[in-house]
Every structure is written in structure tokens, then in C-alpha cells.
Structure 1
Amino acid sequence: MISGVLMGTKDRKTVTGRLSWKRVHPMGRHQLLLGFFLGFGVLFTVVISASLLGRAGGGHWNVHPAVGIAVIYGVLAVWLTFVARMYLTGIFVNDHGLRLRYVFFTRTLPWATVTGFDVRPARIFDTDTDRQACWVSTTSGTYETPVQLSSGTAALQKRSGPVLPADDFNRMVDQLERHRRSRGH
């Protein structure tokens, strides 16, 4: 109930609705590979932790133990955070809005501000790429989502989010439009 008070509501159903987001698209091969890397990173962290605990019990250190531990866990923290963010990149929806999760930031848009969806070239540094991306039009501007349509060429491509085959991509765009229309916008 504390989270309900913090969010300005005591209705548990509303709080749960705001916190639960559903991915709109299937995971691509890229994300399955990232899931493997995430699992590997966690396993590696466990192995390193067990090794450090063993050394602390009587082994010999070549560097000061605190420095070694700080460096190892610092690298692992960055690795796991980056891989987890890449794994969670995508488009998510709930009853209240649309969430675009990128590698380095997340943008949440209330359904009331979303005016439509479009398919246009993905962009890198104001340059069109070979792949198409889903774009969200809102009352305050247009935002490129991280989800892209797979292309068969090896030209300039953005590799920061899920890449879907045509059937899955088109189904996702249709589903997003249905979500928007069902919210009365």
C-alpha cells in the first residue's frame, strides 16, 4: 500500500496497472543472444564471488583486496547493466500508455498524447538507414522506436533494438494501432 500512497492512489488495481508493462512484439534473435549473455554474466559473477570468498579465507592477493574487488565488480556491474538494458529494449504498453525502452533511456507516453504510428527509415545521426522503424506520432512530436523491420541488405543499419521479420513487424504496428484506438484516441 505504500507504493499506492507514493503514486497518489490507494487503489491497488490502478497501481498494478501502472507498473505492469507488456511487450508488444516478439523477441528477435538479437534479444535471445543478449539473454544468453545476461545469463553468462550472472553466472560469471557467481563464480568470481565464490573465488573471491575462497581467496579471502587464506589465499594470497597480488593486489590490495579492496581494489581487486572494486574493479571486478565495477566491470561486472557495467556489463550486466548494459546487457540487461539491451535485452529489455523494445515497445511496451499498458492501459495508461506506451513505453519506448532504449538502451540508455526510457520514454513513457500517455495514450492521450499518442496520435498514430508510422513506418519510416530508422535514422542514425540524421541519416536514413536501410531498415525501416516504427515511429510514434504524438501531440508534442514524433519519436523513433527501437524496433526495426529486417532488411536483406548490408547497407547502413542501426543495431540498437529488436529487428523483426515483416510479418511480426506488421502485426506489431497493427496491434499498436488497435491499442491506441481502444483507448479512444
Structure 2
Amino acid sequence: MTRWRRPHPITGELVYVAVVLPLGVAGSTWFLYQIFSDEWPPSPFVAWPIFLVCAWLGGGWRMSRAGVFISDEGIRIRTIFRTRTLPWSSVARIDSWPTRASGFPRQTEAIWVLTRDNKPIETPLVSAQKRWGSSAPRVALTNADYHQALQTLREAHLRALGSGTAPDQPERQSDTSGN
């Protein structure tokens, strides 16, 4: 069985979501009890609050699980809407580039994974130093934690490939508009 671990510390935001989520479950349970206890069978309008509560709980759960995970087999990139697992053999390099929103680069730095077929994949790991300006839920790391996570990811990639030298790392790109 593969053991996945985070190359970055758990942030205060992730802890906050983990604390608020159980409170939300308790509040939602009470709310739904109040709806169902007054009238049985409930009216068709009850479906809307149930949907909202389930969406809120599901989103909170996914936010608490966001981040990057590594194992001997590969790298797992988990965002609020999607989880991607890539074997190390399909990863060309790991780099730090500006985040993108609506196709435009932002000032916030994020860790990107470039696959062997030149497909860039943005991870949710961003430097908290310039975090604002991004609309997607992110895992904001301090500058030191961000660079440590980037270094840990690069080292894990090298270990998995069995190489002692870094693959060609082009100079940092300030604009990833071609990606």
C-alpha cells in the first residue's frame, strides 16, 4: 500500500476548515431536523436546503484535503474540484511560476508540475507572501515553507528517477502564456 505524505506543513487554513466542518455538520443536522420535524412528508422545497448543506459540507471536506502529496510511486495534486495522480516517470520537472486566473498570469507564485508531454499542471501550493489576487482556493505557505516544499518535491522527483543530477531546469519563466 502506498503511503502518501505532504511535502508541506498543514496550514492554519486547513486546520480552520477541519474545525469548522464538524460545526457545520452539527448545525446542518439541527437545521435539517427542524425542517423534517415540523411536517411529514416534507415539502418539495426541502430539497434545496439539503442540496446547499451537502454542497457546503462536500466543499469543506475537499478544501481540508487540498494540497500536494508524494509517494515512491508519484505525485498527487488535490484541489477542491479534482485529484490528479501522476507517476514520477511522467513528470518532466517541478518549478515555480506565477499563478494563472482566467488565462492571465498573477503576481502570486505557485508550484507547477510539467509533464513529459509539456502539459503544465498548477498545484494549489502558493507563496503566502503575495497570495491575494488569486480566485481559486489555495494552500498558502510561508515563503520558507513554500521553498522547502518546492525543494522536497524536486528531491523526491530525482530520487524516484534514480538520478543524482537535476533534469534540465530552464530559467524561470515570468510569463506562462504559451502553456
> Higher helix fraction: Structure 1 or Structure 2?
1
8 Å CA contact 1:150–1:165 kept in 2: the answer is yes
* Amino acid across the alignment from 1:149: S
Superposed displacement of residue 151, structure 1: 2.0
Identity across matched positions, percent? 25
Q: Deviations for 1:30-75, whole angstroms, at most 9, x for unmatched residues? A: 222222331222112332355467x2xxxx43x8515355333222
2:70 is equivalent to residue 87 of structure 1: no
Q: Deviations for 1:72-94, whole angstroms, at most 9, x for unmatched residues? A: 32221111111111221110112
2:114 is equivalent to residue 131 of structure 1: no
Instruction: Measure the CA separation in 2 of the matches of 1:153 and 1:144.
Output: 15
Superposed displacement of residue 115, structure 1: 1.9
Instruction: Pick one of 130, 133, 146 that aligns with 2:124.
Output: 146
8 Å CA contact 2:109–2:127 kept in 1: the answer is yes
Provide closer, same or farther for how the CA distance between residues 177 and 166 of structure 1 changes in structure 2, counting only shifts above 3 A: same
Q: How does 1:1-185 map to 2 (within 5 A)?
A: 16-17=1-2, 20-48=3-31, 50-51=33-34, 55=37, 60-61=38-39, 64-65=41-42, 67=44, 69-140=46-117, 141-152=119-130, 156-184=133-161
Q: CA RMSD in A?
A: 2.3
8 Å CA contact 1:131–1:158 kept in 2: the answer is no
* Partner SS, residue 25 of structure 1: coil
* Amino acid across the alignment from 1:46: T
Provide closer, same or farther for how the CA distance between residues 78 and 94 of structure 1 changes in structure 2, counting only shifts above 3 A: same
8 Å CA contact 1:99–1:107 kept in 2: the answer is yes
- Number of residue pairs the alignment of both structures matches: 161
Unaligned runs of 5+ in 1: 1-15
Instruction: Measure the CA separation in 2 of the matches of 1:78 and 1:153.
Output: 26
With normalisation by structure 2, the TM-score equals: 0.79
Instruction: Measure the CA separation in 2 of the matches of 1:128 and 1:160.
Output: 16
Q: Deviations for 1:75-131, whole angstroms, at most 9, x for unmatched residues? A: 211111111112211101122111111111111111111121111111101211121
With normalisation by structure 1, the TM-score equals: 0.76
